[in-house]
Amino acid sequence: MNPVQQIDGKKVANVAEAWPIYDTLCVTPTFYGTESINLGWFNTFAGFAAKETHSFFMGRTLGQIGLQYTNKATVDRVDFAYDAFSLGVRFKAPGVRRLGALVAGDLHYADNFSAHWWETELPSHCTIQLKVQQDIVAEGPAMMFSPGYGANGSGASFNHEEADPAGPNGALNANYPPTMNWAMTQGIPSLSNRFAFEDPIGIPRTGSIEAILHVSEYAREILTDMGTGVAGGNGPYNYVFIDSAKPTVYSEFPTRYGIQVSLMGVRYVQQRAQYHA
């Protein structure tokens, strides 16, 4: 890509800056602020599963969902000339598995399945296509596209059922189910551990890019059934915190399941304090 351009007859050299482009899809029971107006976020697994394909880099902006989830300033184009070096897909689920729904003040259900399945199984039943303008420049199973970043670790814990302080002699109670903690990530967090293009893919300024996630019918069926019949509706379920001094008092906070697609590369921008029109 030629970084030199003419402005009013003067040669102006753009500079290359290392720059990621990323976009995130979320499944969460609660939206905040302007998140409620964005395209492609869902309140339930069933809502996510109702669509066979999901789009990235096309439809969400940082003004809607914040820099934590995307750095796209415009809905459908790139704001600068860009050379993409690699592509990665990250599936992110809550790390704490004591998730539940409340009925009459009791924690009657713990979701020890959804988060583990989202991170370890769902990627095996999804594919990704990357389009630049109208050309598909990469495609394959989502598991092929390690993100190269994220939490790292291994191991799991699964405690015995806890005693119910309100029960007779601290008897075990089904309302206090086991808790599972799991630390995992899709690929070792090293930027070299990504799907690298044979040659950089040039994307013109104002050009369009789109990553399309395809979800199999098998995975969509499972996601639709996650939590069906449990009070509170279809998952994902909230974090539930129990007040140890008042075992019948609970606090709930919403969980967030996410899929983040990212490009790593360089953008070409005008040098700081250089001539500008």
pLDDT tens across 41-58, in order?
Answer: 999 999 999 999 999 999
Per-residue HEC secondary structure of 202-243 comes to: EECCCCCEEEEEEECHHHHHHHHHCCCCCCCCCCCCEEEEEE
Q: Domain limits of the chain?
A: 14-268
Residues 6+ apart with CB under 8 A from 257: 26, 27, 28, 45, 92, 93, 94, 114, 115, 118, 236
Q: What's this model's pTM, rounded to 2 decimal places?
A: 0.82
Residue 198, pLDDT > 60, answer: yes
Q: How much of the chain, in percent, has pLDDT values that exceed 90? A: 46
Q: How confident is the model at residue 185 (pLDDT cuts 50, 70, 90)?
A: low
Query: At 269, which amino acid appears?
Result: V
pLDDT tens across 57-74, in order?
Answer: 998 999 889 999 999 999
Q: What is the DSSP string of 74-116?
A: SSSS-SSEEEEEEEEEEEE--SB--EEEEETTEEEEE--SHHH
CA distances from 106 to 94, 126, 183, 232, 249 (A): 22, 36, 28, 13, 9
